[in-house]
Amino acid sequence: MNLKAIIDGIADQADDFLEGVASLEQARAAISEMVTIQDLKLSPADRTTVVEGVMAVLKEEGFFERGSRTGELDGGDDDEE
């Protein structure tokens, strides 16, 4: 299974399913839920890779900084890379 394609696909949908999310922890949980909704047959390790991969893509794109200006998300001290 191509994890990069899964990561990119979920990241591309982030504007829709992360609307109103108020913290990085909530964002991580919502991403995990998206993996479940898509009924992907992933091992626990691959699931973690996908969730962390989506978080990394969104951080790189500045997704969370946009939210922090509106008071929703904070780029706080969550796993800075």
| C-beta of residue 35 within 8 angstroms of C-beta of residue 10 | yes
Domain boundaries, the chain: 3-69
Tokens representing 79?
A: 């796993």
String of b and e for 42-74 (b: at least 16 CB within 10 Å)? beeebbebbbebbbebbbeeebbeebeeeebbe
Check residue 66 and give its pLDDT.
65
Lowest-pLDDT range, 16-20, 27-31, 45-49?
16-20
Burial grade of 26 (CB within 10 A; 0-12, 13-18, 19 or more): middle
The model's pTM is: 0.78
Model pLDDT for residues 42-61, shown as the tens digit of each residue: 999 999 999 999 999 999 99
